A and B are shown apart, each in its own frame.
Chain A
């Protein structure tokens, strides 16, 4: 979002597809979700490449509304395709370790959730390294700062866009299988996640990986606390409100660098 100046409203649906992919791999081939990550990541990367090439590329440089509604249309299509093919039933997989916990003294932590936490931090760190220390990562950052100058420096921005977009969907390829043991999958699940992701990205400051991670933790804390003190149903409303407030009063994000304004 920060790099391409594009909001992919179908991002949540890619997570849905990734969840279904690991679900079906488990159902048909009995592949453990922690193993199916290795299959789902390249699958999602490929899907990202194709989407970028055929749907996002034609919208770049055109008025803003075109990419918003192309991705919204894509989201509607994917949701209903999933409904048509796989029905609206909530599906989940039964694995023995889903309810496994690790105890640290008085605190017990669900193992799958701990794994998600560790993997997320690792992936975020890897992305951080990639963006700062590889040629492609630097090209991505240059493009996000100034598209035209980057192009003048000989960066193939089409390629940058393609890689960026596909990396985004590949990350969902990691998230899907990891979430599968502890979540249900159904056609509209993506929407729940994607709004939170937007909130985190904007709060953390666009294009900042560190900010997004910190903001996500903040959202988690807010969500848990407001669920504790208020009606649990209202907790989502709280961070949407927070989202609007951040957009308006601190558009560079709470953890973002100054000067990078929405």
Chain B
């Protein structure tokens, strides 16, 4: 039984590799760009899923962590010529701290009020980045000027970024797998399913959520640095907009909440399609890809609220069971 489930997971991972491999081989910049976005978003929605999926705490302010990461590393690089690797660590640590504090303050709120509070928090960070001109350059944004090389985390080939994003995604998936089978993860699920019961048997669900909020913020900020190094330019609208805060949960929900592979699956389902649509339709139909996002989200929520990935594994499991019983 367990072997079969693992077997199916292997099948799906193999399928994903099958999808990734050809594009890894093709050196086309356009596809490399799409692949980078897909892997980065797989990782980012995965970090959102740590809190949203496992603990059922639906943050709508994750763009704030992403932006803190992107801004910290970029500003340190442009101001102090600090290598983005250390900048990434600094940004992620700062973000983790903010995540812990925000968690400690907001985790007493339930349901949509937590979402509203994090939404407001995201807007506060956005406004600060926009109006604290002396540090962040305001709406002009920050240009990252660095000569290519490992120490600068800047590369001529887009494939280098793809590999970085792949590593990033794998780390996030690894953390999710860890949550799947650790006390911490069980505490989160216990909170999601029944907080009173969990606390009654002595589980400190509050502490567990605060810790994971820190981890989630840390990883999200690392993604922000990656994005900034890839784009060479950031401004409040590109790294702190509400759209980012919505897209991360969107991908996770479509893929499947509360598992390690759901967000990855969701990202591979949505990102390539919308990115290509965006490129093909061009500016004449700006916004169409977002309409499709919205429609997919609503359809999935109303028809398969548990997400596509869990549904698919369930289906595969049933089919293999049927085949086995036939034999």
Contact of A68 among B58, B108, B285 (CB under 8 A): B58
* CB atoms of A247 and B109 under 8 A apart: yes
Please indicate which of the listed interface residues A67, A79, A237 has the most CB atoms of chain B within 10 Å of its own CB. A237
Q: Which of B32-40, B83-91, B206-214, B295-303 contacts A (4 or more CB under 8 A)?
A: B295-303
Chain B facing A: main interface SS = helix
Q: Which residues of B contact A76 (CB under 8 A)?
A: 243, 246, 290-291, 293-294, 297
* CB atoms of A68 and B105 under 8 A apart: no
Residue-wise, chain B 257-288 has the 8 Å CB interface mask toward A (1 for contact) of 10000000000000000000000000001111
In the complex, A84 has a CB within 8 A of chain B: yes
Enumerate B77-113 residues with CB–CB distance to A below 8 Å. 105-106, 108-113
Enumerate A226-262 residues with CB–CB distance to B below 8 Å. 231, 233-234, 236-237, 240-241, 243-244, 247-248, 251, 262
* CB atoms of B108 and A248 under 8 A apart: yes
Contact of B287 among A80, A234, A244, A262 (CB under 8 A): A80
A234 to B132 Cα, complex, angstroms: 9
Chain A facing B: main interface SS = helix
Q: Which residue of A lies closest to B120 (CB)?
A: A240
Q: With contacts A84-B288, A195-B120, A247-B117 known, is A237 near B294, CB below 8 A?
A: no
Q: With contacts A73-B298, A80-B287, A81-B291 known, is A244 near B242, CB below 8 A?
A: no
Q: Which residues of A contact B287 (CB under 8 A)?
A: 79-81, 83-84, 187
* CB atoms of B294 and A74 under 8 A apart: yes
Minimum CB–CB distance from A69 to chain B (whole Å) comes to 6
* CB atoms of B117 and A244 under 8 A apart: yes
Minimum CB–CB distance from A253 to chain B (whole Å) comes to 12
* CB atoms of B127 and A59 under 8 A apart: no
Minimum CB–CB distance from A249 to chain B (whole Å) comes to 10
A163 to B53 Cα, complex, angstroms: 33
Q: How many residues of A contact B (CB 8 A)?
A: 45
* CB atoms of A77 and B117 under 8 A apart: no
* CB atoms of B301 and A66 under 8 A apart: yes
* CB atoms of A262 and B293 under 8 A apart: no
Q: Give the A-B pair count, Cβ closer than 8 A.
A: 133
* CB atoms of B123 and A73 under 8 A apart: no
Q: Which residue of B lies closest to A231 (CB)?
A: B131
Q: Which residues of A contact B257 (CB under 8 A)?
A: 65
Q: Which residues of A contact B106 (CB under 8 A)?
A: 244, 247-248
Contact of A237 among B113, B128, B253 (CB under 8 A): B128
* CB atoms of A77 and B110 under 8 A apart: no
In the complex, A118 has a CB within 8 A of chain B: no
* CB atoms of A73 and B290 under 8 A apart: no
Q: Which residue of B lies closest to A55 (CB)?
A: B298
* CB atoms of A236 and B302 under 8 A apart: no
Contact of A240 among B109, B124, B294, B295 (CB under 8 A): B124
Binding site for A on B (CB under 8 A): 52, 56, 58, 60, 105-106, 108-113, 115-117, 119-121, 123-124, 127-128, 130-131, 242-243, 246, 249-250, 253, 257, 285-288, 290-291, 293-295, 297-298, 301-302, 305
- Supply 11 A–B pairs (Cβ within 8 Å), ascending by A: A69-B58, A69-B253, A70-B301, A73-B301, A76-B243, A80-B291, A83-B286, A234-B127, A237-B123, A237-B128, A247-B117
